[in-house]
Structure 1
Amino acid sequence: MRERLVELLDDADAALTRDQLSAHASLAQALLLLSQASLETQPESSLHGGLVNWQIKRVVTFVDAHLDASIHVKELAQEARLSLSHFSHAFKQSFGEPPLAYVTRRRLARACDMMLASDEPLSWIAHECGFYDQSHFTRHFHRRLGNTPQNWRRLHAQGPLD
């Protein structure tokens, strides 16, 4: 994991001058790796008011396994075995964002991975990542990453600029 983290940070550093979207994507992946690593080393009681490790792992696993489907906060609360209101508060304490914002961020990360790894149509990728349609996907993508999926894919398909 350490090598992958260093690689992602090096990519982000190199991309800062030529491609801010690529730098943002590398930093997001590095942050995800760091957060996953911290889950493994963090004491159960270190997050006052937040979720404990087993709850975080269950929720993250559930989200990643169901990104292609509709995910409701109630389902996530059930995974953590908490009431809806307590879960929403504890989730935000642990992740720094509301549950559905986290789900959207994970969907967009998966979509970016799929766009880089395949030539599948954006409408198919949108559906596979749990968006209602390509328009819904594009709105969320543009709001979070500041570009359309098509432009982002085109920029990243070209590879590094010299």
Structure 2
Amino acid sequence: MNVTVEEIAALLGATRQLVRIDPLAAEACLDKMVALLSGRESLPKPEENHGAGLTPWQQQAIEAHIQVHIGGPIKVGALAKSAHVSISRLNRVFKTSFGKSPSSYIMEKRIKRAQYLMAMTDEPLSQIALSCGFSHQAHLTSAFRKWVGISPSALRRSLREREVNPADLAL
């Protein structure tokens, strides 16, 4: 078996965080651990997988890392580590796999989470900003206008005027 205790501990830690946030991703992490521990699957070495993009499990690992750490800083090095690739390789193949750069992808995830929280909770925008990884409400407002085209408070007002289906705002 070429799985280290540290790798399993990292997957368990991510799974614990994901249970509350995204049960399906948590289940995928558990399936991955079972496959690793049973010897049916192994983690590739960084020099393996010279294809055009990331493998499905690497994409899932990156998604899980972003979900777990969405409320704080997310460094490209940590994403690369979660996918067991070098930072330079991740920078080369991320757009192929996800359709945009790591920073754009993370920002999109933060904005979608903010939209979801605005629709589903009565939390103040300042708290939503912090829980989505923005440094303050003004940072959220600026990014939100750029990505969505309106301010967060304008979106929240429009959402309150009509019934919102949670499935329409799925993360």
TM-score, with structure 2 as normaliser: 0.64
Identity across matched positions, percent: 36
Take 1:152 and 1:117, find their aligned partners in 2: how far apart are those partners? 12
The residue number in structure 2 matching 1:49 is 52
SS at match of 2:71: coil
SS at match of 1:70: coil
SS at match of 1:50: coil
The residue number in structure 1 matching 2:21 is none
- Which structure has the greater CA radius of gyration? 2
Instruction: Give the Å deviation of 1:82.
Output: 1.0
Query: Deviation per CA, 1:57-84, whole angstroms, max 9, x where unpaired?
Result: 0000110111001101111011111111
Corresponding residue pairs, total? 114
Task: Give 1:118's match in structure 2, choosing from 118, 121, 128.
Answer: 121
Query: Deviation per CA, 1:95-140, whole angstroms, max 9, x where unpaired?
Result: 1100111111111111111001111110000000000101111111
Instruction: Give the Å deviation of 1:94.
Output: 0.6
Task: Give 2:104's match in structure 1, choosing from 101, 105, 109.
Answer: 101
Q: Would you identify which runs of 4 or more consecutive aligned residues in structure 1 move more than 2 Å?
A: none
The residue number in structure 1 matching 2:137 is 134
Question: Given residue 116 of structure 2, which amino acid in structure 1 is its aligned partner?
Answer: D
The residue number in structure 2 matching 1:66 is 69
The CA RMSD measured in Å over matched residues stands at 1.3
Q: Does 1:85 align with 2:91?
A: no
Q: Does 1:145 align with 2:148?
A: yes
Instruction: Give the Å deviation of 1:51.
Output: 0.5
Any stretches of 5+ residues in structure 1 without a counterpart? 1-35, 37-47
Take 2:85 and 2:137, find their aligned partners in 1: how far apart are those partners? 34
TM-score, with structure 1 as normaliser: 0.68
Take 1:49 and 1:80, find their aligned partners in 2: how far apart are those partners? 15
Any stretches of 5+ residues in structure 2 without a counterpart? 1-24, 26-50, 164-171
Query: Deviation per CA, 1:38-67, whole angstroms, max 9, x where unpaired?
Result: xxxxxxxxxx51100110000001101110
Take 1:150 and 1:49, find their aligned partners in 2: how far apart are those partners? 41
Question: Given residue 142 of structure 2, which amino acid in structure 1 is its aligned partner?
Answer: R
